[in-house]
Structure 1
Amino acid sequence: MRTLLSGLGLLESPRWHDGRLWVADWTAGSIGRIDGAGRVRTVVEHKSLPLCFDFLPDVPGGEALVLASSAQRALLRLSADGTLTRYAELASLSPHGPNDIVIDGRGNAYVNNVNFDFAAGPPAGDIAPGFVALVRAGTARIVAADLSFPNGMAVTPDNATLIVAESYRHRLTAFDIAPDGSLSNRRVWAELGAHSPDGICLDRDGAVWYADVGDRCCVRVREGGEVADRIRLDRGAFACMLGGDDRATLFVVAAHWPGPQRLLRHTDWDGTVLAVPVSVPGAGWPGRVSAG
């Protein structure tokens, strides 16, 4: 394992696109691309917490970027001139802003929402108000509900299955994807014991890598829950992405976590980007650059 970058803010939403790793810096309110020299080039600035993004398939360069703005409760798309334009409105779905986003190979955007004020602390009882919305042709609708803090998401290479990390239920949950983008056949993909999955990605063997903040690790798990690999860190792992020219490098964004109540006022972040070589390359979305 090697450190690519250190001394950054709270990083999230790593994506591999156009031969580069992209990350969202929640502290700085920006999305940047890491160049070959290991420097972050800011592509767009947008103050939002959360701030996650993904890329439309078969669209070159930064114009493919779509970000989920919690601040505006909308999806915004990066234009050629560097400005952000409205891609879809989400305000009618919830009084709270979106969390994570994944865009499949057909251009369907899946956006989830924990549906409560995370910074104020979770509500009492079983926390299951979260949902996943489908954005298609500029229109958003809820396609899955009763999710307990939906977090990272991934779509299989055949566009047939969406996998969602339910952080507060300590599991990965899967859905079949219909041709129109609707979700059905909800099922538990893997129970994770006491682990709380955050960001996730898929590999070519169909396994999922998930990041775990509280247990300071990244774990590779197969359908059914068998643990195939574990990478231990000295700080919380927030998200991970398989990238590199052969997609056989696991990029992990990590930082010490102060807890949700201190999230908005915490300034002493120590965000890092780590790179770990793996034997099985990445597959599916996020990370695949085209539908072909």
Structure 2
Amino acid sequence: MLEVLTGIVMGESARWHEGQLWFCDWGAGEVIRVDDSSPSVVFGVNGMPFCIDWLPGGDLLLLDGPRARLLRAGNLYADLSGIDGSHPWNDITVDSRGNAFVNNIGYDFPSGPPAPGLIAVVTPSGAVRQVADGLEFPNGMAVTPDDRTLIVAESHASRLTAFDIADDGSLTNRRVWADLPGVAPDGICVDQSGAVWYAAVPNQHCARVREGGEVLTTIPLPDGAFDCALTDDEKTLYALTADYSNPAAMFGGRTGRLFAIPLP
């Protein structure tokens, strides 16, 4: 395991894109690209949460959670406030058709009482509509390589939940993809075999699980694991960690680290 970066405040939204690792430092308000183990700040963001992904044509999408909007190349792409303008929008993933799925926690985390969250889709035309609800703290999301399934981590329910994806971004056939007793999954990514890697903050590990719940690999980490991303050749897993035990340190200190983990 190689420690690639230190001094991150709170790393989230890890993405492997065109041969480089990207992530969002929520605490610092920065979108960061890692070039040959050297970080460069692509741009700054006010407020959190915020997450990134790319449209099939290569345009960067930024989910500006506090302001309930999705930005494309820095310009407004979709206004999400008509669905929920009061609670944080959290994570984003895009399929190869250009459907951008975004989820909303559903309550004022961490101070408010828990309430169900939802998923919305922004289609390539920019139209926005809700496609799922009743999720217990929807967190990391990913689309399977065949574009047929959306998987979302429900952190409060200790499970991964799956939906079938229609061409227009509609979600059907909701089902439990994997129960993870005692685990609060956060960020996720899917490998080419269809297995899911998830990061778990209080459990301080990343793990690979197949549909049905069989855990194939568990990688202990020194701090809470917030998100993870695979390289295209699947030889390396990147993991973002931070000291989650002290909220003041997590949001104000720089305990966050980026690890590169060789995979067999």
Tell me which of 249, 272, 276 is aligned to 2:261: 276
Question: What TM-score, normalized to structure 1?
Answer: 0.86
Tell me which of 194, 197, 200 is aligned to 1:209: 197
Tell me which of 65, 86, 108 is aligned to 2:99: 108
Question: What does the per-residue CA deviation read over 1:271-292, in whole Å, with 9 as the maximum and x for residues that have no partner?
Answer: 111011123xxxxxxxxxxxxx
Which structure 1 segments of 5+ residues have no match?
79-83, 280-292
Tell me which of 205, 221, 228 is aligned to 1:233: 221
Please state whether the residue corresponding to 2:259 is helix, strand or coil: strand
Alignment of 1:2-41 (within 5 A): 2-36=2-36, 38-41=37-40
Tell me the CA shift for residue 254 of structure 1.
Answer: 0.5
Tell me the CA shift for residue 47 of structure 1.
Answer: 1.3
Residue type of the alignment partner of 1:272: R
Tell me the CA shift for residue 269 of structure 1.
Answer: 2.9
Question: What TM-score, normalized to structure 2?
Answer: 0.95
The structure where strand makes up a greater share of residues is 2
Rounded to whole Å, the distance in 1 between the matches of 2:2 and 2:101 is 32
Question: What does the per-residue CA deviation read over 1:143-180, in whole Å, with 9 as the maximum and x for residues that have no partner?
Answer: 00000000001101111000010000000000000111
Tell me which of 55, 67, 70 is aligned to 2:65: 70
Rounded to whole Å, the distance in 2 between the matches of 1:212 and 1:190 is 14
Rounded to whole Å, the distance in 1 between the matches of 2:191 and 2:67 is 33
Equivalent pair of 1:165/1:200 in contact (CA under 8 Å): yes
Equivalent pair of 1:201/1:210 in contact (CA under 8 Å): yes
Rounded to whole Å, the distance in 2 between the matches of 1:91 and 1:97 is 10
RMSD: 1.5
Tell me which of 211, 221, 239 is aligned to 1:252: 239
Report the equivalent of 2:75: 85
Matching of residue 163 in structure 1 with residue 154 in structure 2: no
Equivalent pair of 1:119/1:264 in contact (CA under 8 Å): no
Residue type of the alignment partner of 2:96: G
Rounded to whole Å, the distance in 1 between the matches of 2:234 and 2:57 is 18
Equivalent pair of 1:199/1:238 in contact (CA under 8 Å): yes
Q: How many pairs does the alignment contain?
A: 262
Tell me the CA shift for residue 208 of structure 1.
Answer: 0.5
Please state whether the residue corresponding to 2:110 is helix, strand or coil: helix
Rounded to whole Å, the distance in 2 between the matches of 1:173 and 1:13 is 19
Report the equivalent of 1:286: none
Rounded to whole Å, the distance in 1 between the matches of 2:190 and 2:202 is 21
* Identity in percent: 49
Report the equivalent of 2:169: 181
Rounded to whole Å, the distance in 2 between the matches of 1:133 and 1:174 is 15
Which structure 2 segments of 5+ residues have no match?
none
Matching of residue 139 in structure 1 with residue 127 in structure 2: yes
Rounded to whole Å, the distance in 2 between the matches of 1:189 and 1:162 is 10
Rounded to whole Å, the distance in 1 between the matches of 2:32 and 2:250 is 23
Equivalent pair of 1:119/1:263 in contact (CA under 8 Å): no
Rounded to whole Å, the distance in 1 between the matches of 2:75 and 2:238 is 29
Matching of residue 47 in structure 1 with residue 46 in structure 2: yes
Question: What does the per-residue CA deviation read over 1:158-211, in whole Å, with 9 as the maximum and x for residues that have no partner?
Answer: 110000100000000000001111000000000001101000001122110000
Tell me the CA shift for residue 119 of structure 1.
Answer: 3.1
Distance 1:47 1:258, change over 3 A: farther
Equivalent pair of 1:89/1:139 in contact (CA under 8 Å): no
Please state whether the residue corresponding to 1:131 is helix, strand or coil: strand
